[in-house]
Structure 1
Amino acid sequence: AGTMGSIVIKLPMPPGCLPTLWQQDERCKEAYFNEFPGYYKTSDAGYMDEDGYVFVMGRTDDIINVAGHRLSTGGMEEILASHPDVAECAVLGIKDAIKGEVPCGFLVLKAGVARQAGEIEREVVALVRDKVGPVAAFKLALTVGRLPKTRSGKILRGTIKKIADGEAWTMPATIEDPKVLDEITEALKGRA
């Protein structure tokens, strides 16, 4: 109880559930059954409370490792989104020489917000440190005009992460507006 981890389902799976991938039995075993023998890996992360209720906090690829602590970027996003001036946000782990990864928050402010972005950034950093604790190592929040998304509205987290980490990246074919990646690159200059 209270520990973040992978959400898995004990086998056997009930009728009608995924038995395999079409003509890719080995790939299915590797992706869903090998990591937790006797269980199906959902690729969701979360925790169970003292009463046995399961809280899904995000995908396992949305869990970052900060100095050995597994932290949910979804949980941090929930905190950022609770700020009254934040319309939309994304948190992802970026490379850090000492801690492995550290969280970086990207904020899109609500229309009409007249306050200084730096002030709001400091407030959300304090919110995360207050609610998650210093273990989150959350020190970097960047205000951007918009987040890069696919045409169906999915935030391009992998591409943002590659830009932040200084890795080579390619323009996703499904991106809504390619210019937003230049805006993300500019926001990260000298800050990450």
Structure 2
Amino acid sequence: MRYPADQKAETHKQIVDIAAREFRSKGLQGIGISNLMSQVGLTHGGFYAHFKDRDALVEEAAVCAANHGFQQLMAAAQAAKPGKEVAAMLDYYLSPAHRDEPGFGCVLPALAAEIAGQADSVRDAFTQAAKQNLNQMARYMPGASEKSRLTQAMVLLSSMAGGVLVARAVNDPKLSKLLLDSVRTQLLHLYGTWLD
């Protein structure tokens, strides 16, 4: 049975969205194709009507996850008062809520190590998404040059991702919260030096 193109596109998007969430929650090997497809109401065989192979799905899901997480970060910045965008990004990203919901948060602390070992097509697509997202984030940095603002965005994002990664890894809630708070404090201090 053939489905209309718009229905196929919607189903494709639904598969990618669910995969992006599940991969961030459980890792790239944490969900099988059959389980993923059953969440959409399709069989394993239906997967191949949408993707040539698992790498194609991982590629799209990694980009989807990167963009979704980044949109949330940018929403925090855009909702902030002028001059408070970086603090708002830190508040959002280094929060217990973000730490506790990996399936809906930033892809970096959830999957960066796994993506590094994926096929070139996956890494290429993820790299392009990372470049675009870092360029958007750089708009909120205070550097005098484009290169300086981009460097600051890279430092900020890498540090935040590392903080969340470690905060998720420890099983002591107080230590986890202290990690988030300490990284936030130090990054705010660093940001302050950039303003000088």
Identify, as 1 or 2, the structure richer in strand: 1
Q: Fold conserved (TM > 0.5)?
A: no
Larger proportion of helix: 2
Q: Which has the higher contact order (CA 8 A, sep 6+)?
A: 2
With the shorter chain as reference, the TM-score category is under 0.3
TM-score, length basis structure 2: 0.27
